[in-house]
Amino acid sequence: MKRASIIFALLLFALAACSGNDGSSEQNESGDNNTLSVWAWNINVPVIEKAAEMFAEDHPGFELNIVETGTPDVYQKITTGLQANGEGLPDVMLVEDDRLQGYLNSFPEAFVNLSEKGFADDHMDKFPEYKTELLSKDGDMYGFPFDSGPAGVFYRVDLFEEAGIDANAIETWDDFIEAGKVLRDELDVALTGIDINNDDGVYRLMLNQQGTFYFDEEGNVDLTSEESVKAMNVIQQLSEEGLNENLVGWDAWIGGLANGTVATAPSGAWLSGSLTGQAPDMEGQWGVFPLPAMEEGGNRAANLGGSNYMISSNSEKVDLAYEFMEFFSTSDEVQLYAMENGLFPSLNTIYTEDVFSEEVAYFNDQPIWTMFADLIEDVPYANYTGDYSLARDEATKAQSRAADGNDPAEALEEAAKQLENRLNK
């Protein structure tokens, strides 16, 4: 009996101890009026911290409470908060391009309309058009453009040289495939490391460069367009000719790039940060050339990835948040600092700075930033819509069917049908 009561007392104490520990709750709402809460992930954190320091010079006492989150897990947090009417969300949050339209469509009231605050009128022309369109719904802007992923083909300079391929002569995807055959025959190295069953990034790049996407401008499923079939044809050839090494998942892909399994990676500018970070010893072995065009003379600009900051309507400090984020996204100094941290800024007023024309030692002394900056203005708008993730799922299935030898047009038709069923259109 005695022992029992001691145990129960202990239990009660334990319960009391853990409920008494809520001193740190209400982190979001409370705090002084000069502190903003922010959710952002790794390489973005030092950038926004630096911006806060600079902002505090003119706004004494200004502070950020940054919660470092991981991707894609942060979207589970954001989605939960949005479904609970904005409860628990921070004042400011970082959202990637491909998620943003989905949130805007499902929770139009949850984010602060920046056009009403004057952002569009004051700063619209400082950002590439594809980006400002992406951040808009019904003509109003809801996000602060931050980084972009202007695409290029990262390639192994040393392997290309060894195989006798001239990277600058690769102008179309057909040229690219021919180069792949040479790499295959001469060096037994794969051209690309596309994760056929899980990632349709390269296919998506080809859609984007041709000015199409999963959806047309009205939001109708557009997987069966002529451009889409052409793009899927390229993927099929890469796979059927044995030019693609099916690297499953991000880690395997980065591994493949770092250990020489694959010789190229068509990807966003941010891959430069991944390469210099994960394979620092390969300095001088990598270079970049613009995305090949579908036809000779065709558009070579496309975008993959990128992110934006949004303000929660639930924030009690909307004005402060707006003021700070306006400073963040339009300050040359902040965006140049972002550059240093491996993020490619969308702010075009800095593209004339010296950093952009610098030769980058890691990339074989190539001034890669000018190349990306020159491309970014030509990136066509992609209509992600709110159904992006479903469309991506079906497109990826079509990609694996095409890679298995099915007719790309048929695979895409099937995908379009499935997608329409899932969307009930």
Partner 1 sequence: MMNTNKSKRGLGKVGMYALLLLFLVISIFPFYWMLVGSTNTSDKMFTSPPTLLPGSEFMTNLNNLDATVGIWRVLFNSLLVSGVYVVIALAVSATSAYAFAKYDFKGKNVIFTIFILSMMIPYQATLIPLFQMMSSYNLLNTYFALIAPQLCYPFAIFLMRQNFAAFPTELMESARLDGASELKIFMKIVLPSMKPALAATSIFLFMFQWNNFMWPLVAITSQDMYTFPVALSTLNGVSFTDYGQVMVGITIATIPIMIFFLVLQRHFISGMLGSAIK
92-111 footprint of partner 1 as x/- string (CB under 8 A): ----x---------------
Least distance in Å: CB of 65 to partner 1?
7
In contact, 289 and 172? CB cutoff 8 Å = no
Least distance in Å: CB of 258 to partner 1?
4
Which of 183, 207, 231, 254 binds partner 1 (CB under 8 A)? It is 254
Specify the residue, 118 or 284, whose C-beta has the smaller distance to partner 1: 284
Other C-beta atoms lying within 10 Å of the C-beta of residue 2: 6
The β-bridge relationship of strands 286-290 and 264-268 is unpaired
Crossing angle between the packed helical segments 226-240 and 201-209, to the nearest 10 degrees: 140
Answer yes or no whether residue 70 interacts with partner 1 by CB under 8 A. yes
In contact, 180 and 292? CB cutoff 8 Å = no
Specify the residue, 171 or 283, whose C-beta has the smaller distance to partner 1: 283
Question: What would the two tokens of residue 405 be?
Answer: 């030898």
Compute the residue count for the chain. Answer: 425
| 194 backbone φψ class: left, alpha, beta (φ>0; ψ -120 to 50) | beta
Which of 15, 169, 248, 361 binds partner 1 (CB under 8 A)? It is 15
Amino acid at 248: V
Answer yes or no whether residue 315 interacts with partner 1 by CB under 8 A. no
CA distance 323 to 128: 22
Which of 73, 226, 240, 295 binds partner 1 (CB under 8 A)? It is 73
Q: How much is the CA Rg of the chain, to the nearest whole Å?
A: 24
Instruction: Map the footprint of partner 1 across residues 335-354, applying CB under 8 A.
Output: 342
Dihedral angle at the C-alpha atoms of 309, 313, 318, 321, nearest 10 degrees?
Answer: -20
Q: Tokens 């695979």 appear where?
A: 411
Which of 34, 106, 220, 259 binds partner 1 (CB under 8 A)? It is 259
Specify the residue, 170 or 247, whose C-beta has the smaller distance to partner 1: 247
Question: What would the two tokens of residue 18 be?
Answer: 């853990």
Instruction: Map the footprint of partner 1 across residues 274-313, applying CB under 8 A.
Output: 274, 277-281, 305, 307
Q: Prior bond to 72 cis, omega within 30?
A: yes
Which of 48, 52, 64, 69 binds partner 1 (CB under 8 A)? It is 69
Question: What would the two tokens of residue 211 be?
Answer: 């000015």
Answer yes or no whether residue 115 interacts with partner 1 by CB under 8 A. no
Per CB under 8 A, the segment of 83-91, 101-109, 150-158, 182-190 that binds partner 1 is 83-91
Task: Give Cβ neighbours of residue 48 (< 8 Å, ≥ 6 apart).
Answer: 38, 40, 64, 66, 328
Q: In 331-406, where does DSSP find H-type helix? A: 332-340, 354-357, 368-376, 388-403
Which of 108, 219, 273, 298 binds partner 1 (CB under 8 A)? It is 273
Per CB under 8 A, the segment of 3-11, 158-166, 228-236, 237-245 that binds partner 1 is 3-11
Least distance in Å: CB of 257 to partner 1?
8
Q: Total number of residues binding partner 1 (CB under 8 A)?
A: 59
In contact, 291 and 285? CB cutoff 8 Å = no
Residue 301: what are its φ and ψ, rounded to 5°? -105, 135
Answer yes or no whether residue 77 interacts with partner 1 by CB under 8 A. yes
Specify the residue, 84 or 361, whose C-beta has the smaller distance to partner 1: 84
Least distance in Å: CB of 20 to partner 1?
9
Secondary structure letter of residue 194 according to DSSP: -
Instruction: Map the footprint of partner 1 across residues 148-207, applying CB under 8 A.
Output: none
Binding site for partner 1 (CB under 8 A): 1, 3-4, 7, 10-11, 14-15, 17-19, 21-22, 24-28, 37, 41-43, 65-71, 73, 76-77, 80-81, 83-84, 87-88, 90, 96, 254-255, 258-261, 268, 270-271, 273-274, 277-281, 305, 307, 342
